[in-house]
Chains A and B, each alone.
Chain A
Amino acid sequence: MSKSRKAAALLIALAAGPVSAQAPAPAEDAPAAVRPLGLGRPALPEEVAAWNMDVSPDGTGLPEGSGDVMTGEEIYLEHCAACHGDFAEGLDNWPSLAGGEGTLDREDPEKTIGSYWPHLSTVWDYVHHSMPFGNARILTPDEVYAITAYLLYSNDLVEEDFVLSKDNFTQVRLPNAQGFIEDDRPQTEYPVFSVEPCMENCKDSVEITMHASVLDVTPGGEDAGAAEDAPAQAGID
Chain B
Amino acid sequence: MTDRPGTTSRRAFMRAGLAASVALPAAVSAARGQGAPDPLITEVQDWARYSGEGVDATPYGLPIRFESDVIRRNVSWLTADTISSINFTPIHQLDGTITPAGCAFERHHSGAIELAKPDYRLMINGLVDRELVFTYEDLERFPRTQGVYFCECAANSGMEWAGAQLNGSQFTHGMIHNMEYVGVSLKTLLAEAGVRPEGKWIFVEGADASSNGRSIPIEKAMDDVMVAFKANGEALRMEHGYPARLVVPGWEGNLWVKWLRRIEVTAGPVESREETSKYTDTLANGISRKWTWVMDAKSVVTAPSPQVGITHGPGPLVITGLAWSGRGAITRVDVSVDGGRNWTTARLAQPGVPKAMTRFYLDHVWDGEEMLLQSRAVDETGYVQPTKNALREIRGENSVYHNNGIQTWWIKKDGSAENVEVS
Contact = CB atoms under 8 A, between A and B. Distances in A.
Contacts of B338: 206
A209 B268 CA distance: 45
B188 interface: yes
Given A39-B138, A42-B132, A194-B383, A205 B423 contact: yes
A202 B1 CA distance: 15
B400 A217 contact: no
Nearest to B188: A33
Contacts, number: 323
Interface in B210-258: 210-211, 213, 217-219, 222-223
A3 B219 contact: yes
A65 B158 CA distance: 40
Which of the listed residues A21, A54, A188, A201 has the most CB atoms from chain B within 10 Å of its own CB? Answer: A54
Interface in A142-186: 179-185
Contact of B264 (A52, A55, A133, A217): A52
A185 B154 CA distance: 15
B134 to A, nearest CB: 4
A56 B270 contact: yes
B372 interface: yes
A219 B168 CA distance: 10
Contact of A36 (B134, B191, B342, B390): B191
A234 B159 CA distance: 5
A206 B191 contact: no
Contacts of B419: 211-212
Nearest to B211: A129
Q: Is the interface of A mostly helix, strand, loop or mixed?
A: loop
B196 A109 contact: no
Contacts of B394: 188-189, 192
Given A52-B125, A181-B289, A107 B194 contact: no
A72 B165 CA distance: 41
B24 interface: no
A230 B79 CA distance: 11
Contacts of A137: 209
B26 to A, nearest CB: 32
Contacts of B104: none
B286 interface: yes
Given A43-B131, A105-B286, A210-B420, A183 B276 contact: no
Nearest to B194: A19
B123 A48 contact: yes
Contacts of B294: 183, 185
Given A37-B192, A202-B342, A205-B423, A185 B292 contact: yes
A109 B130 CA distance: 45
B68 interface: no
A3 to B, nearest CB: 6
Interface in B58-80: 73-80
Contacts of B309: none
A235 B78 contact: yes
B328 to A, nearest CB: 12
Contact of B296 (A47, A113, A185): A185
Given A6-B219, A181-B287, A237-B278, A35 B191 contact: yes
Contacts of A54: 203, 205, 213, 264, 270, 272
A100 B319 CA distance: 45
A202 B394 CA distance: 21
Contacts of A133: 83-84, 110
A121 B271 contact: yes
A23 B241 CA distance: 34
Contacts of B123: 43, 47-48, 51
Given A48-B123, A125-B270, A11 B142 contact: no
A191 B73 CA distance: 37
B99 interface: no
A218 B159 CA distance: 11
B376 A136 contact: no
Nearest to B210: A130
B321 interface: no
A22 to B, nearest CB: 6
Contacts of A52: 125-126, 262, 264
Nearest to B401: A237
Contacts of B292: 183, 185
B118 to A, nearest CB: 16
B280 interface: yes
A143 B283 CA distance: 36
Nearest to A234: B159
Given A7-B217, A182-B290, A201 B276 contact: no
A61 B96 CA distance: 47
A40 B422 contact: no
Interface in A1-30: 3, 6-7, 10-11, 14-15, 19-22, 24
B266 A213 contact: no
Interface in A183-237: 183-185, 188-190, 192-203, 205-213, 215-221, 227-228, 230-237
Contacts of A55: 270
Contacts of B192: 36-37, 39-40
A185 to B, nearest CB: 7
Ranked nearest first, the 4 interchain pairs of A and B with the lowest CB-CB distance are: A105-B286, A206-B339, A104-B286, A212-B419
6 contacts: A7-B217, A7-B218, A181-B288, A199-B334, A217-B77, A235-B78
Given A133-B84, A237-B278, 16 more contacts: A6-B223, A19-B190, A19-B194, A40-B138, A51-B262, A52-B262, A54-B205, A93-B77, A113-B277, A125-B273, A126-B277, A192-B390, A208-B1, A210-B421, A211-B419, A218-B75
